[in-house]
Amino acid sequence: DSLSERAFADALKSVARNLQLKQYVRQSAEWYPILLRAAERFVAGDVLERGLFCRDALDAQGYRTSLEYIGENTLTETECTQAFQEFSRLIEACSKGRPGTRISLDLSHIGLSVDEDLSYRHLEGLASQAEVAGLELVISMEESAKTNSILALHRNISARFTNVGITLQAQLPRTLEDLEQVLTYGSGTIRIVKGAYQEQEGQYIPRSETLTSRYIQMVDLCVQAGRAVSVATHDEPILRHMTRNEVYRGAAVEIEMLYGIRTDLAKQLKDDGFPVRIYLTYGEEWFLYLCHRIAEHPPNIYDAVTRSIAG
Ligand code: FAD
């Protein structure tokens, strides 16, 4: 039932954020390689070079790609600056390869949880570097307590750069109004997701047909406004709706799916001629990412374990 599913997801997310456990995994010569191998079902690896390697492999198969250096809620200025420097290294590396890799990031990874100005300065530096390299940044959306700040920072950066997109969560009741606002400024891609965060009861629209129709309504608003939109979901009915309706073909609509999830569907959609982007992550926080994917969809634990044993 949904209560115990929620309890399971919450427990896993606490495990993911447990600092002692994180230290232990990092230092354990025994567990680190086994768990990393399991995580590689969903994460490119622990270092940038692995991210680039997987990106090239996907590129050769005809997918577009997004790359993220995993992290969130960084709590010291030094760590925020380190994250900024790693993103800078990522942009530098992507500027040399084939064009088109999109860089994704959480603002709380580069400073939002410490100081809004710090995250803005870091965002500005990355947007400027990405602009020169002809790359696009897309800001992720975090829990609802941060929505106002994230949207305000996106609005400010959009006044100076045209290459910064934003993610919006269909599950929040406020999002239709936010989308109307976002459509009035900037020109970056709008990525629509259902929403990954466990919000308070009554503060979000649960997975349902109502949420599906809202999701499609948001995509339609972007299409009507002529704005580039990323349909970031694995929900087959939504994706079939996109590929069956001519209106979405030829428009600036693409499908974006997480690496390692519903790869069968991603391939079908790509082979059917729809642009499909794969969202790829790397970094030393792979353990956090693995726990999130399992919390979202518990059967993933079997896939991860099988991969680890096979490896
Ligand atoms: P669901 O209704 O959750 O799932 C539909 C079906 O997809 C499921 O029945 C299952 O078959 C399959 N599926 C879904 N998740 C998994 C999984 N983990 N493993 C295996 N199968 C699965 N969320 C945010 O809150 N902020 C963000 O910035 C953000 N960025 C994202 C970027 C991209 C490119 C993507 C694809 C997702 C992002 N998300 C983000 C996560 C998103 O909000 C959802 O939590 C996630 O996509 C699962 O929802 P869904 O749309 O696939 O639909």
Contact yes or no for 59/43 (Cβ under 8 A): no
Separation between Cα atoms, residue 301 and residue 203, nearest integer Å:
29
* Position 285 pLDDT exceeds 70: yes
Give the residue carrying structure tokens 């969809």. 297
Class of domain 44-282: alpha beta
| pLDDT value, residue 5 | 77
Protein residue with least CA distance to atom 51, ligand 1: 233
Q: Is 233 annotated as a binding residue?
A: yes
Q: Is 169 annotated as a binding residue?
A: yes
| pLDDT value, residue 1 | 55
Boundaries of every domain in the chain = 1-43+286-311, 44-282
Q: Is 154 annotated as a binding residue?
A: no
Using the mean position of ligand 1's atoms as its centre, give its distance from the Cα of residue 146 in Å. Answer: 20
| pLDDT value, residue 23 | 83
Cβ of residue 234 lying under 6 Å from some atom of ligand 1: yes
| pLDDT value, residue 251 | 76
pTM for this model (two decimals): 0.94
ipTM confidence score: 0.98
| pLDDT value, residue 311 | 60
Least confident segment among 4-8, 50-54, 82-86, 261-265: 4-8
**Encoded tokens for 115:** 């100081």
Spatial neighbors of 64 by CB under 8 A, at least 6 apart, are 100, 102, 254, 275, 276, 277, 278
